[in-house]
Structure 1
C-alpha cells in the first residue's frame, strides 16, 4: 500500500491537446528528469519541438514547477484520485535568439535619435 502512495500516474498535455509521457512516476522524480524524458519522447511531427529542458515549462494546478524540485516537493497530490491520472500542461518557450536581441537594441538606438528638421 505504501508503494501506491509513493507513485503517481501522470500524463503531459502539449499545446495541440496531444498527451505524451503517460506513465507512473516515483515521488522522488525531479521536474528536470520529467522534462528530459519529455524532450526524448516529443512527437517529431509537431511544428514546435523543444530542443532542451530549458525550452519548456511544466504547469500543475496553475503553478510552474521548478526543475530542481521533486514531485513530492512540488506538492503533487499522491493517491488523491484512486486509479486516476494527473495531467500536467507543457508550455514550449524556446529562448530568444541572439540576433533578435541585437535587432531590438539596434531599433532602440534608432528610436532614441532625433530626426527633427528646424527651418
Structure 2
C-alpha cells in the first residue's frame, strides 16, 4: 500500500497521485487541505499503524511523511519525497537530516533545481 501526502496547495486527486493510480498502484491519498502539520501527522499515523506502507509526499506532505516515518519506522517499507519541505520552522525536529536517516528502509528524494517554492538546497543538506 502506498500513502500519498500532497503538499500545502495540493489535492488528494492532483496530477501526481492520479498518475500513480493510473499506473495500477493501490494508493490512499487523504485530503489535507486546511490542515495544520499536526493534523496531517495524526491522520498519517493512524493509516500507517494499520499495515506496512510506502510513504510518498510532496513539499509539505514530504515533511509530514518524514515525521511519521520517524515515529513508526517498523511500519514503513520505503519513502519517496518530492521536493520535501524539511526545513520549515514548524518542523518539530531542528535537524532535517535526522528526519531521513538512519532508517531501515529505502528513501528516494527527487527535487528540481528550478523549484521556486522549496529550494533544492533543502534536499541537499
Fold-level similarity (TM above 0.5): no
Task: Say which structure is richer in strand.
Answer: 1
Larger Rg: 1
The structure where helix makes up a greater share of residues is: 2
